[in-house]
C-alpha cells in the first residue's frame, strides 16, 4: 500500500514536471519573427512598412492612370483604323482599283457605231447614276475614252469588235429608263446611225474588272 | 551521528525521489515564470495590436506589389499593341493618300495646258439655230476626250475635277458637271506630258472639233501651255450604293 502511494505521488509530480518542461521549451522556441521583436522595434517596423506602403500605393495610382490613358488611346486608334480602312475600301471601289460587282445593266451594241456615240452612251450612264462602267473587260474611268482608229474602235489599247457590250453598276430601272426614254441617247444614236442596234438588259449581277492604269501620276505632283 | 544516519535510513526511498522531483519542479516553475514574464506583459497589453498592425501592413504591401506587377504587365501589352497600331495607321494612311491621288481626290500641279472655249461673239444669222453658236456639254466632252487621248493624266473644267463618274450634260444654257452648274467661258485645265499641246493639235479628232465648232460657228478657243497647271481635287461626295468589292486582291 505504501509502495502504491509512493508510485502515485511520483507519477503526479512527473506529469506536472513533463508539462512544465514542454511549456518551457515552447516558450523558448517561439522566438523568430515579429514575436521576437520588442515593442519599440515593432513600432519602427510599422513606421517603415507604412512609408513603403504609401510609396507603393502612389506607384499603383500612377500605373492606374497610365493604363486608363492607354486604354482610351487604344480605343481611339482602333476607331481611326476602322475609319481609314472603310475610306480606303470606298475610294478603291470608286476609282476602279479593285474588281467590283453589283446590280446594273448590260448595254449590247452591234453594228459600226461611232466613237462619239459610244462616248455619249458612257456619259449618259454616268449622268443617270452609274457607279462603275466597263466595256467588255476594260474598266472605264476618267481618262478612258473610246477612240476611232483606222481599224475600228478601241479603248485603252483594246480593239472593240462589231459587237460589244457595256456593263454598268447602278440602279437598273433608273439606268434603263434614262437610256431608253423617248428622245434619249439611244433614240438619237439610232436616228444618226440607223444601222446600229443597241439593247439594254437589266442584270442582278454585273461584274466590273479592276483598272490596269498606274496608281501614281506621271506628270503631276500631288498637293496633299 | 549514528542516530541521524539511522533516521535517514528510516526515510522511505519514494519520499527521497519525490523530494528531488519537487525540487526540480520548483526550479522549472521559477524558470517558466521568468521567461514568461515580459511576454505576458506585452501579450496582454501593447504587443498584439503592434504585431497585428505589422502583419496587416505586410499583407497590404504584398497586395500592392502584386498589383504593380499586374498593372505593369498590362501597360507593356498595351504599349506594344499601340506601337503596332501606330505603324498600321501610318501604313494605311500612305495607301489612302496614294489611292486618293489615283482617284482624283487630291489636287495635282504639273506641266500642261489650259484650253478656254467660249460662245460665238458675232451676231447669229436669223435662220440659224442659236444653240450651234453656244458651247454645249458635247463640246466640253469632246474637248476633254481629246485631251485624254493626247495623254492628259488629270483634267478639271472650271475647277471641277473629271472623275470616274463625272458626266457633262446641258441644263438650259449652262452645263452641269459634277453637280456644279458651269457658265462660260469654260476652261479645261489638263496636266500631261510636255508635248501634250502638240499631240492635241495633231489629233484628227481635235482638228475636226476646231473645224466643226470654231471655224463653222465661231466658238472662240484659246490656249496656254503652262509649267504649273493646277488641277483641283474632286470636292463632291462619293456615292456608292450598288457597287461592292468583288475580291480582296487590292493593289
Interface confidence, given as ipTM, is 0.70
Report the pLDDT value the prediction gives residue B251, as an integer from 0 to 100: 44
Contact criterion met (CB < 8 Å) for B244 and A104: no
Q: What is the mean pLDDT of chain B?
A: 86
Q: Distance between CA atoms of B163 and A143, rounded to whole angstroms? A: 8
Contact criterion met (CB < 8 Å) for B86 and A23: no
* pLDDT higher than threshold 60 for residue B40: no
Is B22 within 8 Å of B30 (Cβ atoms)? no
Report the pLDDT value the prediction gives residue B41, as an integer from 0 to 100: 45
Residue A13 lies in a domain: no
Average pLDDT score over residue span A67-90: 81
* A contacts of B13 (beta carbons < 8 Å): 6
CATH assignment of the domain containing B168: 3.30.70.1880
Residues B112 and B200 in one domain: yes
Please tell me the total count of domains within chain B: 2
Domain that holds residue A154: 100-208
- pLDDT range class, residue B239, cuts 50, 70, 90: confident
Is B227 within 8 Å of B154 (Cβ atoms)? no
Would you state the cell numbers that stand for residue A193, as one nine-digit string? 446611225
Domain that holds residue B31: 2-44
Q: Distance between CA atoms of B105 and B160, rounded to whole angstroms? A: 11
Average pLDDT score over residue span B143-159: 97
Q: Distance between CA atoms of B20 and B30, rounded to whole angstroms? A: 16
- Distance (Å) from the alpha carbon of B140 to chain A's nearest alpha carbon: 12
Place of cell 505576458: B40
Report the pLDDT value the prediction gives residue B2, as an integer from 0 to 100: 64
Average pLDDT score over residue span A106-113: 96
- Please name the residue of chain B whose CA is at the shortest distance from the CA of residue A130: B165
Residue A112 lies in a domain: yes
Residue A145 lies in a domain: yes
* Chain centroid to CA A188: 47
- Distance (Å) from the alpha carbon of A53 to chain B's nearest alpha carbon: 6
Cβ contacts below 8 Å, chain A against chain B, sum to: 285
Please tell me the total count of domains within chain A: 1
* Chain centroid to CA A40: 64
Q: Is the Cβ of B79 closer than 8 Å to some Cβ of chain A?
A: yes
Least confident span in A29-38, B7-16, B107-116, B189-198: A29-38
Across B126-167, the runs of DSSP E, i.e. the strands, are 154-157, 160-161
- pLDDT range class, residue B76, cuts 50, 70, 90: confident
Report the pLDDT value the prediction gives residue B44, as an integer from 0 to 100: 44
* pLDDT higher than threshold 90 for residue B23: no
Statement: the pTM of the whole predicted model exceeds 0.80: no
- pLDDT range class, residue B245, cuts 50, 70, 90: very high
Residues B17 and B112 in one domain: no
What radius of gyration, in Å, describes the C-alpha atoms of chain A? 46
Residue A157 lies in a domain: yes
Contact criterion met (CB < 8 Å) for B51 and A35: yes
* A contacts of B88 (beta carbons < 8 Å): 81
Contact criterion met (CB < 8 Å) for B242 and A89: no
Amino acid at each position: 500500500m505504501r509502495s502504491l502511494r509512493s508510485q502515485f505521488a511520483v507519477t503526479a509530480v512527473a506529469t506536472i514536471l513533463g508539462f512544465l518542461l514542454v511549456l518551457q521549451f515552447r516558450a523558448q522556441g517561439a522566438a523568430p519573427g515579429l514575436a521576437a521583436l520588442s515593442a519599440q522595434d515593432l513600432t519602427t517596423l510599422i513606421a517603415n512598412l507604412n512609408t513603403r506602403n504609401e510609396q507603393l500605393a502612389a506607384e499603383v495610382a500612377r500605373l492606374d492612370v497610365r493604363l486608363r490613358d492607354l486604354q482610351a488611346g487604344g480605343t481611339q486608334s482602333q476607331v481611326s483604323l476602322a475609319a481609314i480602312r472603310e475610306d480606303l475600301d470606298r475610294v478603291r471601289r470608286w476609282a476602279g482599283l479593285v474588281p467590283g460587282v453589283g446590280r446594273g445593266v448590260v448595254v449590247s451594241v452591234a453594228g459600226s457605231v461611232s466613237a462619239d456615240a459610244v462616248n455619249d452612251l458612257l456619259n449618259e450612264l454616268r449622268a443617270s447614276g452609274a457607279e462603275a462602267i466597263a466595256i467588255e473587260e476594260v474598266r472605264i474611268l476618267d481618262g478612258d475614252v473610246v477612240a476611232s482608229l483606222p481599224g475600228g474602235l478601241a479603248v485603252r489599247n483594246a480593239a472593240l469588235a462589231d459587237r460589244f457590250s457595256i456593263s454598268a453598276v447602278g440602279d437598273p430601272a433608273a439606268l434603263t429608263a434614262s437610256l431608253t426614254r423617248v428622245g434619249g441617247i439611244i433614240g438619237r444614236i439610232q436616228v444618226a446611225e440607223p444601222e446600229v442596234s443597241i439593247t439594254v438588259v437589266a442584270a442582278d449581277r454585273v461584274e466590273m474588272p479592276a483598272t490596269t492604269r498606274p496608281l501614281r501620276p506621271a506628270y503631276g505632283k500631288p498637293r496633299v | 551521528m549514528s542516530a541521524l544516519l539511522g533516521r535517514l535510513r528510516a526515510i522511505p526511498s519514494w519520499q527521497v525521489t519525490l523530494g528531488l522531483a519537487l525540487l526540480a519542479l520548483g526550479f522549472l516553475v521559477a524558470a517558466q515564470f521568468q521567461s514568461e514574464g515580459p511576454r505576458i506583459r506585452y501579450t496582454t497589453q501593447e504587443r498584439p495590436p503592434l504585431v497585428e498592425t505589422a502583419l496587416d501592413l505586410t499583407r497590404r504591401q504584398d497586395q500592392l506589389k502584386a498589383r504593380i506587377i499586374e498593372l505593369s504587365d498590362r501597360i507593356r501589352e498595351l504599349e506594344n499593341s499601340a506601337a503596332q497600331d501606330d505603324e498600321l495607321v501610318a501604313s494605311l494612311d500612305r495607301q489612302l493618300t496614294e489611292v486618293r491621288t489615283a482617284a482624283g481626290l487630291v489636287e495635282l500641279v504639273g506641266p500642261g495646258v489650259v484650253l478656254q472655249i467660249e460662245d460665238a461673239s458675232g451676231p447669229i444669222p436669223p435662220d440659224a439655230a442659236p444653240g450651234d453658236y453656244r458651247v454645249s456639254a458635247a463640246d466640253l466632252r469632246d474637248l476633254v476626250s481629246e485631251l485624254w487621248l493626247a495623254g492628259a493624266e488629270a483634267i478639271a473644267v472650271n475647277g471641277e475635277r473629271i472623275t470616274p463618274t463625272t458626266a457633262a450634260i446641258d441644263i438650259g444654257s449652262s452645263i452641269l458637271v459634277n453637280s456644279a452648274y458651269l457658265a462660260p467661258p469654260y476652261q479645261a485645265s489638263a496636266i500631261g506630258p510636255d508635248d501634250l499641246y502638240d499631240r492635241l493639235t495633231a489629233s484628227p479628232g481635235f482638228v475636226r472639233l476646231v473645224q466643226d465648232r470654231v471655224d463653222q460657228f465661231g466658238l472662240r478657243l484659246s490656249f496656254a501651255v503652262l509649267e504649273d497647271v493646277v488641277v483641283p481635287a474632286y470636292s463632291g461626295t462619293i456615292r456608292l450604293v450598288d457597287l461592292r468589292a468583288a475580291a480582296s486582291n487590292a493593289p
